[in-house]
């Protein structure tokens, strides 16, 4: 199965930006109109959009719901959304925009009963983002690294019925240093019944070839951000490499 390439749109102060390793003080603005950017990535061949409300992530509550609604309405491809989603009401509101899938962070995993309720309520429209550095889960905006291994947390997510895990290597995010293929292979092997989407470091056709070469049936896609905005690679070239 070919990997799905997911162009990323990160929202901050109403603009389309990218952060370096998730740092709020390392912002590059790539466009004042996120809706137009969404249309652009669809025209370039994107099959699925990955949208993150960065202000929402930092605040703990969604901040760009209106813009996300406009993005969803402007394109014909599915959109997944994350950032600040910590309550059932917030998930309901984002899904009501027409988003295909919502992403909750590892903080949600601190409340197993809540997460399991969300799995029952939202099914495949719910994904869990696992952010890790050197194989260990990071929390609090990537400022703290826990002793929990990412693969162990992922296995727990699978046991609870989570359909999709978005696995971000935070050391590589926004750095254009390539993917951590070994870590992704370990992750996919740990959750064979759950689909995994790779995030962090995709910067070239070679990275996608490396992911495809892992031959992990549950490795479903790769999120691409800075490399597209910096015009280091195109969506069509990445799709050909899958």
Question: Taking all residues of the chain, what is their mean pLDDT, rounded to a whole number?
Answer: 90
Over range 20-26, report the average pLDDT: 62
**Tens-place pLDDT, residues 176-206:** 568 889 999 999 999 999 999 999 888 899 9
**Tens-place pLDDT, residues 45-58:** 999 999 999 999 88
pTM of the model: 0.93
The total of other beta-carbon atoms located within 10 Å of residue 23's CB is 13
Q: Which sequence positions are flagged as catalytic?
A: 10, 131
Distance CA 10, CA 148 (A): 27
Q: By C-alpha distance, which of 150, 98, 95 is closest to 123?
A: 95
SS3 for 47-116, per residue?
Answer: CCEEEEEHHHHHHCCCCCHHHHHHHHHHCCCCEEEECCCCCHHHHHHHHHCCCCEEEECHHHHHCHHHHH
Q: Cα dist. 171→103, 150, 175 in Å? A: 20, 14, 8
More confident residue, 203 or 238: 238
Q: The tokens of 104 are what?
A: 């909750």
Q: The tokens of 119 are what?
A: 């799995």
Q: The tokens of 133 are what?
A: 């550095």
Distance CA 10, CA 16 (A): 6
* CA quadruple 25, 181, 155, 163: dihedral sign: positive
Q: What is the pLDDT of residue 105?
A: 87
Q: What is the pLDDT of residue 194?
A: 98
Rounded to 5 degrees, φ, ψ at 237 are -65, -40
Confidence of residue 42 (pLDDT cuts 50, 70, 90): very high
User: What would the CATH number be for the domain defined by 4-241?
Assistant: 3.20.20.70
Residue 27 has pLDDT above 80, yes or no: no
Confidence of residue 18 (pLDDT cuts 50, 70, 90): confident
**Tens-place pLDDT, residues 141-183:** 555 667 889 999 999 999 999 999 999 987 665 555 688 899 9
**Tens-place pLDDT, residues 61-76:** 999 999 999 999 999 9
How many angstroms from the chain centroid is the CA of residue 115? 18
**Tens-place pLDDT, residues 102-139:** 999 876 667 889 999 999 999 999 999 998 888 888 76
Over range 8-30, report the average pLDDT: 81
């Amino acid at each position: 199965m070919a990997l799905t390439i997911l162009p990323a749109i990160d929202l901050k102060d109403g603009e389309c930006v990218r952060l370096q390793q998730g740092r709020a003080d390392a912002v590059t603005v790539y466009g004042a109109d996120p809706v137009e950017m969404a249309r652009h990535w669809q025209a370039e061949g994107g099959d699925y959009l990955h949208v993150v409300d960065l202000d929402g992530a930092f605040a703990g509550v969604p901040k760009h719901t209106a813009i996300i609604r406009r993005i969803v309405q402007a394109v014909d491809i599915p959109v997944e959304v994350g950032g600040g989603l910590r309550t059932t009401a917030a998930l309901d509101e984002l899904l009501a925009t027409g988003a295909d899938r919502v992403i909750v962070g590892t903080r949600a995993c601190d409340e197993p009963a809540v997460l399991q309720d969300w799995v029952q309520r939202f099914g495949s429209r719910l994904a869990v983002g696992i952010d890790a550095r050197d194989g260990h889960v990071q929390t609090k905006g990537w400022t703290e690294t826990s002793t929990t291994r990412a693969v162990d947390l992922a296995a727990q997510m699978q046991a609870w019925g989570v359909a999709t895990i978005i696995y971000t290597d935070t050391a590589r995010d926004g750095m254009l240093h390539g993917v951590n293929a070994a870590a992704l292979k370990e992750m996919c092997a740990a959750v064979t019944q759950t689909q995994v989407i790779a995030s962090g470091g995709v910067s070239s056709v070679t990275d996608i070839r490396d992911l495809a070469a892992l031959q992990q049936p549950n490795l479903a896609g790769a999120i691409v951000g800075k490399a597209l905005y910096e015009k280091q690679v195109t969506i069509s070239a990445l799709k050909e490499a899958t």
